[in-house]
């Protein structure tokens, strides 16, 4: 019986219950929902429980694009309900699989509809293009009793009552005015009676109409509750669904290798600056997975090439992925293909977003230094800080005004964005020295741009005594020439395997050949996806992902390019 | 005569029911413990007595005074309560800072007490402040010998660590859970750097989802009045209460599949496992296995 009811679409709120930035607490068949409207109009119906420690999300904060839990500040994205930030671990990107339970949602006839296991589409009633929603009446009684007694109330008033689908009923008045009634079963003994009339009423007429029905319904409410008192129904128990085994344990990182498990369609391609296009992708079906600021996707182009692009999206912009692509003069076919051949409507394969460039949000101030197309991951980060009202400066170095990309996004935080046009390398260094001289404790620097500029920024920051761990950078590519001539042995501590890495083959390749599935993305030592922990042995670092102190420590290596200086490495795999 | 609970693990514990300082000789008080109505008083000799409210024969329940509180058991309690040596140090002030009724399980209350990650959100401006939200790595051990959960080397940024300082700084914490429903927090004393102030929470489970939290401080401080000390503690607890009462389910899940821990929750995970191992059923959702 309860299982059948779960398949039905019920109204769970009036649209007017969801004013801007509010979170509404709804209940259906014993299950609580947190219902909130994002600034883009999308209505989210989520289980009313933060997956972390069970705190009701209905007491959380609707920030317009994300919902923030009151207890530990975890942020959940509009639409996907995926967790985008865990403040207790600001240096980590949250596992993207942490996702709240969501329920289907439709909004029509001035009401929000949902159900736990709805089947198909809801019933859309004819002649309800115009409507007036009655004040919902909560009644302490079983939904069957409510229906029966409200119907008989209108019957006695000599109106025509008729049963409709799924327990709804209609009441028709003289001038062909009809009210549809729905009884929302909140629990076995708790219902909400929701009515909607097929006429758009305004002003005094509306008020008198609402008043009249409110009075009829309030009267029947009292009668119903008197009868209901003598009846007893066991409360409905909503099953708490299990989180996955992976999420129930203290986190470990594991992702699949270069897989492209998403299919996306190009929905927009526009020139955003000289030589730079902005491309938006939408999911072919379903919802795109959650991303965090700094994340990138692997795009599998029709030409067979795989390229990494950072997402530009701001928080909560979850119904598309936005990337920026610069036409490289010496393009090996990636950027030129995108610029010349890719069209709106094309379908591509891409990986789920991966974040090896996570943004700390516990800085007293964040400094962004972007060079050219390197602004893309930093732009996503700056938008995240905007939403949280955190302090930052955004320095964007470009050739000239024509090369300023995504200006409409930059425009939104004018007072924090500083654009530096046409600086020579030496002037750039001078400027950077000035920008980075104002360092205080708890500041973080994020740099992305062409290799030489990135090197210069790191050097200047280092000279101005920014600690290594406060300097975060992402290279587009590894310009180092990879020396893969060495041969050595690797011992896998967890798999109890010993393998030989011959010259000409990477550690990653050898692992793959032996059936060990390691995630990777750029496979040239720039993105950080294929990193593993090193337990023993001296690493020959050839990547540009790790900073100097991390390289010196030698606890981590990039398996796609780095090798061994010693005869043997023991890896934590 | 009826006892509303049949979980031997919880019945055999000592449970706090009142701080001694609020009792007048001779006055009889009623309270609820483990879904059971009980009465208690200090008799004319100053001895503590407790019996079941509806027991006409007034059979006396095991009752003791430890650390400024009355402790009662509805089963067969151990001879002593956990050690708390700081309580007896002569230069310390022991202040009972109030009892708070909360509609949640005892386990959730203790877990909240152990949690640092919520400081910047729930106790903003007092125990923490955005953007200083990081919970740094700390150590947790379950001592077999003392049968308690111990979290050490905990550090958290506090906006105004001492009245005298204008700047925020990292404060060191040690947490002890020596009893299913009791926890102690040790925190560097602003007066004497070498010593630690102690903040205690002793939870009285009235029902599985309904508790009274008895709180107190054991501190080196000659300046603050007892009222100021109480007010501080009451502000903090007043901020936690609405969060605790909005946790669902109200019982503490020992079944690991219900919630998602992060590294910052190491102490809570150890606490849950420790309770599981004891076979506790009351006020928890037992592990599914």
Residues contacting A573, CB < 8 A, separation 6+: A492, A493, A494, A495, A511, A516, A518, A532
Neighbours of B125 (CB within 10 A): 10
pLDDT over 80 at A512, yes or no: yes
- By the 10 Å C-beta count (0-12 exposed, 13-18 middle, 19+ buried), B240 is classed as buried
For B271-287, give the DSSP string: HHHHHHHHT--TTEE--
Q: Distances from the Cα of B194 to the Cαs of A138, B150, B164, B220, B222, in angstroms?
A: 60, 20, 17, 11, 17
Residue A129 has pLDDT above 60, yes or no: yes
A196 vs A262, higher pLDDT? A196
Q: What is the mean pLDDT of residues A209-227?
A: 93
The segments of chain B whose pLDDT lies below 70 read 1, 161-166, 289
* Model confidence pLDDT, tens digit, residues A146-176: 999 999 988 888 888 999 988 899 999 877 7
What local confidence, expressed as pLDDT, does residue A244 receive?
81
Q: Select the residue from A25, A89, A237 to test the B interface by mutation, using most B Cβ atoms within 10 A.
A: A89
Full-prediction pTM beyond 0.80? no
Choice among A199-213, A234-248, A379-393 with the minimum mean pLDDT? A234-248
- What is the bridge-based pairing of β-strands B196-207 and B210-219? antiparallel
- Give yes or no for residue A337 having a pLDDT over 90: no
Whether the CB-CB separation of A78 and A23 falls below 8 Å is answered with no
DSSP type of residue A403: G
Residue A142 has pLDDT above 90, yes or no: yes
**Nearest CB partner across the interface for B121, out of A72, A240, A364:** A72
Which pair of tokens denotes residue B45?
């000799």
Per-residue pLDDT at A93: 62
Question: What local confidence, expressed as pLDDT, does residue A222 receive?
Answer: 95
Q: What percent of chain A has pLDDT over 90?
A: 69
Please tell me which residue of chain B has the smallest CA distance to A57.
Answer: B246
- Cβ distance A54 to B262 less than 8 Å, yes or no, reads no
What is the tens place of the pLDDT at every residue in A256-271?
446 677 888 899 999 9
From B239's Cα to the closest Cα of chain A, the distance in A is: 11
Instruction: Point out the residue among A32, A49, A390 whose CB comes nearest to the CB of B131.
Output: A390
Peptide bond into B131 cis (omega under 30): yes
Alpha carbon of A58: minimum distance to chain B alpha carbons (Å)? 9
Interface test with A, best of B129, B261, B262, B266 (most A CBs within 10 A): B262
Instruction: Measure in Å the smallest separation between the Cα of B275 and chain A Cα atoms.
Output: 17
Spell out the residues 6+ positions from residue A328 whose beta carbon is closer than 8 angstroms to its own. Answer: A334, A335, A336
Q: Is A552 on the interface with B (CB under 8 A)?
A: no
pLDDT attached to residue A395: 97
Q: For residue A411, give how far its alpha carbon lies from the nearest alpha carbon of chain B (Å).
A: 25
Residues 148-187 of B with CB under 8 A from A: none
Q: What is the pLDDT of residues A423-475, one digit of tens each?
A: 999 999 999 999 999 888 889 999 999 989 999 999 999 999 999 999 999 98
- Give yes or no for a contact between B80 and B64, defined as CB atoms under 8 angstroms apart: no
Mean pLDDT (chain A) is 90
Task: Say how far apart CA A35 and CA A12 lie, in whole Å.
Answer: 9
Q: Which of A48, A242, A250 sits opposite B257 (nearest CB)?
A: A242
Using one digit for the tens of pLDDT, what is the confidence trace for A33-57? 999 999 999 999 999 999 999 999 9
Q: How many CB atoms lie within 10 A of CB B209?
A: 17
Q: What is the pLDDT of residue A254?
A: 36
Judged by a CB distance cut-off of 8 A, whether residue A30 touches chain B is: no
**Is the CB of residue B85 less than 8 Å away from at least one CB of chain A?**
no
Q: What is the mean pLDDT of residues A49-74?
A: 96
Say if residues B213 and B192 touch (Cβ distance below 8 Å): no
Q: Does A61 touch chain B (CB under 8 A)?
A: no
pLDDT of residue B180: 98
**A56 and B242 in contact by Cβ < 8 A?**
no
pLDDT tens, residue by residue, A469-485:
999 999 888 888 889 99
Looking at the predicted structure, is the pLDDT value of residue A239 above 90?
no
Residue in B105, B110, B258, B260 to test binding to A, most A beta-carbons within 10 Å: B260
pLDDT tens per residue across span A9-28: 999 999 999 999 999 999 99
Taking contacts as CB-CB distances below 8 angstroms, the residues of chain A near B169 are: none
Judge: B134–A250 Cβ closer than 8 Å, yes or no: no
Chain B residue with minimal CA distance to A363? B131
Closest residue, chain B, to A50 (C-alpha): B259
């Amino acid at each position: 019986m309860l299982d059948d009811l779960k398949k039905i679409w019920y109204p769970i709120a009036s649209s007017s219950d969801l004013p801007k930035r509010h979170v509404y607490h709804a209940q259906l068949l014993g299950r609580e929902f947190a219902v909130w409207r994002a600034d883009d109009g999308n209505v989210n119906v989520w289980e009313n429980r933060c997956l972390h420690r069970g705190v009701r999300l209905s007491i959380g904060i609707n920030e317009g694009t994300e919902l923030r839990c009151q207890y530990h500040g975890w942020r959940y994205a509009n639409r996907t309900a995926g967790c985008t930030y865990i403040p207790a671990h600001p240096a980590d990107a949250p596992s993207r699989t942490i996702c709240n339970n969501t329920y289907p949602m439709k909004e029509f006839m001035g009401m929000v509809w949902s159900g736990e296991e709805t089947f198909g589409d809801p019933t859309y009633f004819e002649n309800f293009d115009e409507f007036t929603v009655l004040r919902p009446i909560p009644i302490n009684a079983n939904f069957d009793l409510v229906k029966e007694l409200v119907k008989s109330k209108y019957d006695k008033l000599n109106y025509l009552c008729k049963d409709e689908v799924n327990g709804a009923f209609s009441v028709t008045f003289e001038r062909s005015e009809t009210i549809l009634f729905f009884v929302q079963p909140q629990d076995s003994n708790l219902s909400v009676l929701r009515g909607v009339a097929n006429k758009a009423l305004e002003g005094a007429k509306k008020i008198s109409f609402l008043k009249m029905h409110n009075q009829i319904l309030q009267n029947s409410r009292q009668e119903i509750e008197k009868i209901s008192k003598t009846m007893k129904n066991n409360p409905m128990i909503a099953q708490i669904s299990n989180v996955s085994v992976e999420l129930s344990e203290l986190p470990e990182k594991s992702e699949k290798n270069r897989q492209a498990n998403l299919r996306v369609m190009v929905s927009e391609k526009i020139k955003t600056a000289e030589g730079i296009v902005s491309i938006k992708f939408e999911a072919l079906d379903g919802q795109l997975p959650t991303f965090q600021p700094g994340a990138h996707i692997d795009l599998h182009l029709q030409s067979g090439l795989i390229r990494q692009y950072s997402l530009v999206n701001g928080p909560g912009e979850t119904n598309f992925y936005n990337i920026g692509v610069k036409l490289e003069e010496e393009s090996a076919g990636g950027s030129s293909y995108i610029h010349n051949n890719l069209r709106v409507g094309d379908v591509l394969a891409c990986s789920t977003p991966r974040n090896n460039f996570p943004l700390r949000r516990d800085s007293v101030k964040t400094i962004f230094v972007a060079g050219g197309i390197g602004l893309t991951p930093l732009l996503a980060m700056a938008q995240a800080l905007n939403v949280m009202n955190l302090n930052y400066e955004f320095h964007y170095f470009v050739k000239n005004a024509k090369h300023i990309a995504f200006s409409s996004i930059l425009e939104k935080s004018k007072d924090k964005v500083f654009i530096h046009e046409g600086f020579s390398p030496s002037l750039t260094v001078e400027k950077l020295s000035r920008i980075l001289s104002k360092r205080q404790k708890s500041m973080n620097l994020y740099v992305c741009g062409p290799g030489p500029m990135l090197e210069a920024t790191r050097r200047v920051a280092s000279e101005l005594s920014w600690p290594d761990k406060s300097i975060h950078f992402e290279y587009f590519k590894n310009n180092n020439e990879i020396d893969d001539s060495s041969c050595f042995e690797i011992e896998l501590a967890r798999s109890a395997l010993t393998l030989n890495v011959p010259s000409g083959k990477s550690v990653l390749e050898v692992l793959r050949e032996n059936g060990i599935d390691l995630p990777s993305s750029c496979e040239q030592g720039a993105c950080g996806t294929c990193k593993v922990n090193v337990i023993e042995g001296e690493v020959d670092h050839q990547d540009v992902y790790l900073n100097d102190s991390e390289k010196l420590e030698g606890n981590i290596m990039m398996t796609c390019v780095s090798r061994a200086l010693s005869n043997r490495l023991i890896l934590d795999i | 005569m009826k006892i509303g609970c049949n979980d031997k693990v919880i019945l055999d514990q000592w449970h706090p029911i009142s701080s001694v300082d609020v009792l007048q000789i001779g006055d009889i008080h009623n309270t609820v413990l483990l879904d059971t109505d009980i009465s208690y008083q200090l008799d004319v000799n100053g001895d503590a007595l407790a019996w079941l409210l509806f027991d006409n024969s007034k059979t006396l329940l095991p009752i003791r005074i430890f650390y400024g509180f009355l402790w009662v058991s509805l089963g067969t309690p151990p001879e002593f309560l956990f050690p708390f040596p700081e309580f007896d140090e002569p230069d310390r002030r022991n202040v009972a800072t109030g009892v708070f009724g909360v509609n949640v399980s005892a386990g959730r209350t203790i877990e909240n007490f152990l949690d640092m990650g919520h400081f910047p959100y729930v106790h903003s401006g007092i125990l923490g402040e955005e953007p200083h939200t990081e919970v740094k790595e700390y150590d947790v051990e379950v001592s077999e010998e003392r049968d308690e959960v111990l979290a050490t080397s905990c550090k958290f940024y506090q906006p105004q660590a001492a009245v005298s300082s204008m700047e925020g700084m990292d404060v060191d914490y040690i947490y002890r859970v020596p009893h299913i429903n009791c926890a102690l927090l040790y925190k560097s004393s602003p007066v004497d750097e070498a010593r630690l102030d102690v903040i205690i929470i002793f939870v009285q489970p009235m029902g599985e989802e309904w508790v009274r939290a008895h709180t107190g401080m054991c501190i080196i401080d000659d300046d603050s009045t007892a009222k100021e000390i109480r007010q501080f503690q009451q502000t903090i607890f007043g901020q936690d209460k609405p969060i605790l009462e909005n946790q669902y389910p109200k019982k503490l899940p020992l079944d690991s599949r219900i919630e998602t821990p992060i590294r910052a929750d190491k102490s809570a995970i150890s606490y849950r496992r420790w309770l599981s191992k004891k076979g506790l059923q009351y006020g928890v959702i037992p592990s599914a296995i």
